[in-house]
Structure 1
Amino acid sequence: MNPLLARLQPYPFERLRQLFAGVTPPADLRAISLGIGEPKHPTPAFIKEALTAGLGALAAYPATAGEPRLRAAFTDWLKTRYDLTLDPATQVLPVNGSREALFALAQTVIDPSAGFKPVVVSPNPFYQIYEGAALLSGADVYYAPSVAARNFAVDWDSVPADVWARTQLVFVCSPGNPTGAVMPLDEWQKLFDLSDRHGFVIASDECYSEIYFRDEPPLGGLEAAARLGRHDFKNLISLTSLSKRSNVPGLRSGFVAGDAGIIKSFLLYRTYHGSAMSGTVAAASIAAWGDEAHVVDNRAQYRAKFAAVTPLLEQVLDVRLPDASFYLWAGIPAQWDGDDAAFARALYAQYNVTVLPGSYLARDAQGSNPGRGRIRMALVAETEECLEAARRIVDFVRKAPR
């Protein structure tokens, strides 16, 4: 067996199952889960219709590079969303959701024969695929903390110079999971300068880019590069997905875009990896990327939901409206002494509400776990269910102090 598999840690949801083992929540309260970030809003009917209309494509092997109409749908969307002009033949590729692409990209760009132990820099807390992708590529992971005092911006300055010298890949998540923070232009400039100096690739995970609460849409990595005159997108790959934008997590559809040289190598890897997108999925994807009305409606639903739920939770938790994404990243009351796992277990046991301990989404690094004392709540269900969960949490904190 691959010895690198032994370096992988249990996924947060497996740890959550272990945490809840032996607990029987009250039977008179229906279960409400805010633990998993799986979109629950209905899939738009026109996407389903496009999917079934494309069933004829099941009779043919799909091309790994995707058909021209699909790649054009990606570049058309990038033009509409970010005012960017990319070559559909060389600067974009379809992927089966951003998760598999994040993993595969690391296997493509990490060079274990470089003469030193390569490093992948990850935000902390983080989406666990970043860690698994790095470890299975043979690299070490350096965890750069997100700082609460800076609206959970990643502290890139905390990464030592000798770590940057060995870095081959940096994962950026903006808007962030779990914090919802959006990386500003000056932080992008900092990373681009470091990339130019050390030659590492930047993977910008942007799957939450269309769920935001301010008037200004979140800045994207490619958009930041263009604003700074980096029109070749050197050493930059952006990854996005339809899952959250269009409420189709089961479609497993997204795309990557950026540096044409990296795209060329990634296509070669994917050709052998066997990860071509089905023509049936491509048909639905073309329809989804070409329509913005359903995205505006989806965003309005989240905005109304967060506007209703956040003020309730602000009464008892350290929480505020994020920049973007569909998570609330909340600090638990002081009497719990930062024990987010104990808080989550007691809440489940007494009120049948599931939240994810923040420490499960981060690692102990540089002397602390930046997720400790926080919980992640995914407001993905309908508004009334999220409101009911919020009311129970308020009741729990007020009536059941530790």
Structure 2
Amino acid sequence: MNQDRVESLAQFHPFTRLNKLLEGVQPGGGNTPLLLSLGEPQFQPPSFALDAIANAKELWSKYPPTLGTVEFRAAAKAWLVRRYGVESAFLDAERMIAPVSGTREALFHIALSAVAMGAPKGKGKVLMANPFYHTYAGAAVVAGGEPAFLPAGPETGFLPDPDAVPADLLREAAMVYLCSPANPQGSVASADFWRRWLALARRHDFLVAADECYAEIYTDQPPPGAIEAAQAGGSCDNLLVFHSLSKRSSAPGMRSGFVAGDARYISRQAQLINYGGVAVPLPVLAASTALWSDETHVAQNRARYQASFDSAQAALGPLFGNVKPGGGFFLWLDVGDGEKAAVELWRQAAIKVLPGGYMARTDASGRNPGTPFIRVALVYEPALLGGALERMASVLASVLAAGGRVRAAGRGR
């Protein structure tokens, strides 16, 4: 990789930039530091998953199969059928589902496949919303593709409008990353949104990579899924959906998820794992099979987040209006200057958040759409978050007042 690409890759990592921003700034207020910058659930997964790992201890001595076990694939398929109402016959568990070592690895790998498959046809663009999850852009650069950023502000409901993408960009696209509920804004894509994007992908021959790792954390109705749109269209061609136990089951350290959809890309995914990826260990697959088969712990997990959303609304609502996301566990707050707010929250309250500008790139008008925002991850127990959110509100009230703003614009929802 040449030096230009190395430098380009570095610019997409928001936590490297955050560390530099806060370098030399001491966490203040006499408070224990609280890291609300990283989307890492701080809850324990259900005990039966840990028991499943312990009960499969003899399997640590075996290399895991690339495509996992029959039981795992059956559990993943059964969950998709239950959750999204797709017909069992629509999914071939042997050819269209594969376990992955966390969705981040799989989302990274898929760009390597899609760009390689698109390059001979002159299709090297990797489309993504702006703001975006940094792995998308990093994957595009490493794969030899070119990130292309699509507006995803309040005017489009914080999701990229498929009808607004220029035709020449669609012709050059190898793939598009789409996330619902969205990271960072929490917006939920409609069934029509998925249908429209999938229609474009089939017309212009590119891949839709549907990142749905937050699909089980929501405030109202379960978010529609891309797999539903695929069934309505008769096939999973040009679609992969990505699901994870990191958020659904509060098990980020297990590094376990799955990808499902177009068998061509599943095959490519398996090839990449065979050469240089990480197959999910058999004891972890046993625990994962149990987790995908259980809904009780997911409902309990969702209730925990609902309590945190309620605390956030009580503390921050007077400043921002409605702060509850449609899904996921992030708050996306318009504070006027995300970097300034991040520094003051760390300096005054020992609360670390992520400036929104670090998740976005300057657009054609010369504006970074994330600059006014901060992203706040509600990943601790509600009892711990309550006091932190009150401290946050006090600091942000001062930040807003210093900026001449009595009340921020809110979420635009």
Distance in structure 1 (CA, Å) of the matches to 2:305 and 2:156 = 24
Query: How do 1:162-173 residues align onto structure 2 when only pairs under 5 Å count?
Result: 162-173=168-179
Whichever residue aligns with residue 9 of structure 1, its letter is A
Residue type at the aligned position of 1:327: F
Residue segments in structure 2 that go unaligned for 5+ positions in a row: 403-413
1:35-82, Cα deviation, whole Å (9 max, x unpaired): 111001222111111111111111111110111111111111111111
> Matches of 1:115 and 1:230 in 2, distance apart?
25
Structure 1 partner of 2:384 = 385
Contact 2:191 2:228 survives alignment (8 Å): no
Residues 43 and 303 from structure 1, CA distance in 2 versus in 1: closer, same or farther, beyond 3 angstroms? Answer: same
One-letter code aligned to 2:301 = N
> Kindly tell me: are residues 348 and 318 of structure 1, through their superposed partners in 2, closer, same or farther at Cα, counting changes over 3 Å?
farther
1:115 and 1:45, CA in 2 relative to 1: closer, same or farther beyond 3 A? closer
Q: Which residue of 2 aligns with 1:288?
A: 291
Q: Distance in 1 between matches of 2:98 and 2:241?
A: 11
Q: Does 1:8 align with 2:9?
A: yes
Shift in CA distance, 129/195, structure 1 to aligned 2, threshold 3 Å: same
Distance in 2 between the 1:265 and 1:24 partners?
A: 47
Q: Which of 104, 107, 127 is matched with 1:121 structurally?
A: 127
Corresponding residue of 1:28: 30
Tell me the equivalent position of 2:217.
211
Q: 1:59 aligns with which of 58, 61, 71?
A: 61
Query: Which range is displaced more, 269-278 or 94-103?
Result: 269-278
Change (3 A) 1:161 1:392: same
- Evaluate the alpha carbon distance shift between residue 398 and residue 237 of structure 1 in structure 2; reply closer, same or farther with a 3 A threshold: closer
Residue 318 of structure 1 and its aligned partner are, at CA, apart by: 5.4
Distance 1:40 1:32 in 2: 11
Return the alpha-carbon distance in structure 1 between the equivalents of residues 301 and 237 of structure 2: 33
**Counterpart residue identity of residue 345, structure 1:** V
Question: Would you say the 8 A contact 1:318–1:331 is kept in 2?
Answer: no
Contact 1:237 1:258 in 2 (8 A): yes
The worse-fitting range, judged by mean Cα deviation, of 75-84 and 248-257 is: 75-84
For the aligned residues, what is the CA RMSD?
1.6
Letter in 2 for 1:311: A
Moved more, 286-295 or 7-16: 7-16
Query: What TM-score, normalized by structure 1, do the two folds share?
Result: 0.94
**Alpha-carbon shift at residue 113 of structure 1 (Å):** 3.8
Q: CA deviation at 1:398?
A: 3.4
Taking the aligned partners of 1:179 and 1:268, their CA distance within structure 2 comes to 34
Tell me the SS of whatever aligns to 2:152.
strand
Q: Pick one of 32, 40, 45 that aligns with 2:47.
A: 45
| 1:153 Cα deviation after fit | 2.4
Q: Indicate whether 1:308 and 2:308 are aligned.
A: no
Conservation of the 8 A alpha-carbon contact between 2:42 and 2:381: yes
Q: CA deviation at 1:142?
A: 0.8
Spell out the pairing of 1:169-248 with structure 2 (5 A cutoff): 169-214=175-220, 216-226=221-231, 229-248=232-251
Work out whether residues 185 and 331 of structure 2, in 8 Å CA contact, stay in contact via their aligned partners in 1: yes
Rounded Cα–Cα distance in structure 2 between residues aligned with 1:315 and 1:199: 47
Task: Give the total of aligned pairs.
Answer: 394
Give the structure-2-normalised TM-score.
0.91
Partners of 1:380 and 1:303 lie apart in 2 by 12
User: Which residue number corresponds to residue 97 of structure 2?
Assistant: 92
Q: CA deviation at 1:319?
A: 4.6
Deviation at 1:116, TM superposition (A): 3.0
Secondary structure of residue in 2 paired with 1:154:
coil
Report how far residue 2 of structure 1 moved.
5.3
Q: Which runs of 5+ in 1 are unaligned?
A: 333-337
1:152 pairs with 2:155 = no
C-alpha change, 1:124 and 1:205, in structure 2 (3 Å) is same
Aligned residue type for 2:126: V
Equivalent of 1:330 in 330, 333, 341 = 333
Instruction: Indicate if the aligned counterparts of 1:327 and 1:377 stay in contact, CA closer than 8 A.
Output: yes
Residues in 2 aligned to 1:369 and 1:256: alpha-carbon distance in whole angstroms: 32
Aligned with residue 364 of structure 1, among 348, 362, 375: 362
- In the alignment, what sits opposite 1:335? none
Take 1:399 and 1:169, find their aligned partners in 2: how far apart are those partners? 43
Check 1:212–1:113 CA distance in 2 against 1; reply closer, same or farther (3 A cut). closer
**What is the Cα deviation at residue 353 of structure 1?**
1.4
Alignment CA distance shift 1:24-1:184 (3 Å): same
Alpha-carbon separation, structure 2, partners of 1:374 and 1:294: 32
Distance in 2 between the 1:366 and 1:319 partners?
A: 29
Matches of 2:295 and 2:121, distance apart in 1: 48
- The separation in 1 between residues aligned to 2:288 and 2:172, in whole angstroms, is 38
Q: Deviations over 1:345-368 (max 9, x none)?
A: 122112211111111111112222
Query: What CA distance in whole angstroms lies between the structure 2 residues aligned with 1:268 and 1:115?
Result: 21
Offset at 1:230? 2.0
Counterpart Cα distance in 2 of 1:211 and 1:373: 25
Residue equivalent to 1:350: 348
Q: Aligned equivalents of 1:222 and 1:280: distance in 2?
A: 28
